[in-house]
Every structure is written in structure tokens, then in C-alpha cells.
């Protein structure tokens, strides 16, 4: 255990109490009806997007999707059909400049039982405020140091910010475990024989408005991985510009100085607090 000041630990604990924020009252809810859980709110739209979206749907109707004065409505049917309709809508929003960082990669929306209702371009999940999933891995050494990555300046989200040693979105056809091992190799060059030792810890639910990009709603699947003393991370996918190995005290200071991405700040703060119980 690494000792940190009481005030630092209190600041981290207070921060972790604010992981899931409600959508602002002027954000338009997105309702899904006809599903197994009855009608439910599954997303939120930035009010700046609404006039454009209303014009789009008045000009050209899209099956299973409708908008009125106070909510956007989705009608549940076969996942393939709802996915096709949402894909049409996302294409229209992209054309209007409301889906930055298009990746040509799908995320899936799952209900509380793990059933997939639809899949959609991952960048559009923030535009519509749909709940996505990601893995974050705390890479640490027996001596108590943490490895952190620094995001590439070319990333569309949080360029240059500190991140966990490996982290990434869970694609539509992945499990959290498979994603964790993939990200460990792609982002940090962790071979399979080490990555197999990754330890599942739990989940952190992140919800916050992100201005012109929409609303961030994501379940973070958290893992810890002890690394050999001689191991040095090496990036393979171009998404990380470099790595640093630091103490928990320095990591805490950098969190409170706002040097981390929001998600990685919460995951790292949780790790620090677990090590200081």
C-alpha cells in the first residue's frame, strides 16, 4: 500500500461519487417502446441537434423512428431492422456534422439481461447518448507503480490526455474479456501469456454531457493486471503516443490536476483508493 494524504484520498472519493450525472433538463430523451422491459429512455439528444433532426425526419421518414415536441421515439422490432433504421439516421446526422470521429465500427446496445437490441456506428452512440461499453485495465508492478498511456494527439476524443495503460470500446461482437486482451496487445504490446492474468474488478457507470459531441453514457469494465518488473509497454495501433511509470501519489496529483481523460481518472482513482484501504 502506498500512503497518500487524507485530503487527497477524500478528494478522490468525492470525485468518484459523481461518475453518473443526469442528462440536463433541456436534452431530449430517446424512448424505446415495444421491448421486453416496456417503454424506456435509452438516450438523450443535445438540444443543439434537435432542429436539424426534426428537419431530417420531416423531409424523409425513416422506419421505426419518429420525433415529436418532447422526445424521439424508437419502435423495437428485430435487432437487424432497428439497426438498419438507426444507421440511416446516423448517416443523416453525420452529413450534418453531428457525428464526429466516424470509425466504421459498430457498438451494440444491450438491455439489463445482455440481449442486443441494435448495433450502430460507435461514434453515433455519443450523438444519441446511447449506453456503450468499454474496458479499462490498470497495469501495475509489484513495487507499486502504475503504467499509464498518453493518448495520441490525433485522437478525436481527449487527444494528449493520460489514460489507463490499455482501454477501449467493446465492439458489437466482443465480450469485455476479449476486448481487454485485444486492447492490451494493440495499445500496450502485452503478450497473451501475461494478458491471460488480467483480473476482473467490477464496473463503473459513466454519464455526462460532452457539449457539441452529445452525451456520454458508458459502462466501464475494470481490470487489474500485475506486470513483470522488466516489462515496458509498446504501442501497436498508433493510438498511444507514449507511456509513463509513476507512483500512486503522482497519479493522484495528475488526476486532480485534470491531466487524465474523465473515464481513466475515475478508473485510476478507484484503483488508488482500493490500494489505500
Instruction: Please determine, looking at this structure, whether the domain spanning 6-21+132-275 carries the CATH number 3.90.79.10.
Output: yes
Q: How far apart are CA 50 and CA 60, in angstroms?
A: 15
- Which residues neighbour 206 within 8 Å (Cβ) at sequence distance 6 or greater? 19, 20, 216, 217, 218, 219, 220, 262, 263, 266
Predicted local distance difference test score (pLDDT) of residue 227: 97
CA 176 to chain centre: 12
Closest CA to 77 of 110, 16, 33: 33
Query: What's the pLDDT band for 2 if we cut at 50, 70, 90?
Result: low
Cβ 190 vs Cβ 198: under 8 Å: no
Kindly state the average pLDDT of the residues 230-245: 94
Kindly state the average pLDDT of the residues 212-228: 96
Range 28-124: architecture per CATH: 2-Layer Sandwich (3.30)
Kindly state the average pLDDT of the residues 246-274: 97
Handedness of CA 187, 192, 194, 200 (dihedral sign): positive
Q: What's the pLDDT tens digit per position in 165-187?
A: 999 999 999 999 999 999 999 99
pTM (two decimals): 0.94
Kindly state the average pLDDT of the residues 126-145: 97
CA 149 to chain centre: 16
Predicted local distance difference test score (pLDDT) of residue 143: 94
Query: What's the pLDDT band for 3 if we cut at 50, 70, 90?
Result: confident
Q: What share of the chain is helix, strand, coil (3-state, %, to 5)?
A: 35, 30, 35
Closest CA to 31 of 79, 65, 58, 82: 65
Cβ 86 vs Cβ 76: under 8 Å: no
Predicted local distance difference test score (pLDDT) of residue 40: 93
> What number of other Cβ atoms are within 10 A of residue 179's Cβ?
22
Cβ 251 vs Cβ 164: under 8 Å: no
Closest CA to 19 of 136, 180, 149: 136
Q: How far apart are CA 269 and CA 263, in angstroms?
A: 10
Q: How far apart are CA 200 and CA 136, in angstroms?
A: 10
Q: What's the pLDDT tens digit per position in 53-96?
A: 999 999 999 999 999 989 999 999 999 999 999 999 999 999 99
Structural domain boundaries of the chain?
Answer: 6-21+132-275, 28-124
The CA-atom distances, in angstroms, between 18 and each of 11, 28, 107, 264, 277 are 11, 22, 25, 14, 20
202: alpha, beta or left? (left if phi > 0; alpha if psi -120 to 50):
left
Predicted local distance difference test score (pLDDT) of residue 37: 67
Burial class of residue 33, CB neighbours in 10 A (0-12, 13-18, 19+)? exposed
> What number of other Cβ atoms are within 10 A of residue 62's Cβ?
16
Amino acid at each position: 500500500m502506498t500512503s497518500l494524504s487524507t485530503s487527497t484520498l477524500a478528494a478522490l472519493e468525492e470525485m468518484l461519487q459523481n461518475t453518473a450525472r443526469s442528462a440536463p433538463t433541456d436534452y431530449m430523451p430517446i424512448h424505446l417502446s415495444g421491448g421486453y422491459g416496456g417503454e424506456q429512455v435509452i438516450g438523450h439528444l443535445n438540444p443543439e441537434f434537435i432542429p436539424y433532426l426534426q428537419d431530417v425526419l420531416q423531409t424523409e421518414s425513416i422506419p421505426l423512428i419518429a420525433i415529436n415536441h418532447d422526445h424521439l421515439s424508437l419502435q423495437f422490432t428485430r435487432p437487424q431492422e432497428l439497426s438498419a433504421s438507426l444507421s440511416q439516421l446516423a448517416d443523416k446526422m453525420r452529413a450534418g456534422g453531428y457525428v464526429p470521429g466516424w470509425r466504421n465500427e459498430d457498438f451494440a446496445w444491450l438491455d439489463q439481461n445482455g440481449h442486443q437490441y441494435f448495433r450502430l456506428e460507435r461514434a453515433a452512440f455519443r450523438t444519441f447518448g446511447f449506453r456503450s461499453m468499454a474496458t479499462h485495465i490498470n497495469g501495475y508492478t509489484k513495487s507499486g507503480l502504475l503504467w499509464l498511456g498518453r493518448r495520441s494527439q490525433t485522437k478525436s476524443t481527449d487527444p494528449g490526455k493520460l489514460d489507463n495503460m490499455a482501454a477501449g470500446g467493446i465492439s458489437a461482437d466482443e465480450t469485455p474479456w476479449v476486448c481487454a486482451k485485444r486492447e492490451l496487445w494493440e495499445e500496450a504490446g502485452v503478450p497473451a501469456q501475461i494478458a491471460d492474468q488480467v483480473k476482473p474488478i467490477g464496473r463503473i457507470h459513466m454519464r455526462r454531457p460532452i457539449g457539441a459531441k452529445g452525451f456520454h453514457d458508458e459502462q466501464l469494465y475494470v481490470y487489474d493486471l500485475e506486470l513483470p518488473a522488466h516489462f515496458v509497454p509498446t504501442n501497436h495501433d498508433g493510438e498511444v503516443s507514449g507511456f509513463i511509470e509513476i507512483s500512486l501519489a503522482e497519479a493522484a496529483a495528475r488526476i486532480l490536476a485534470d491531466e487524465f481523460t474523465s473515464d481513466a481518472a475515475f478508473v485510476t482513482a478507484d484503483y488508488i483508493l482500493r490500494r489505500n484501504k
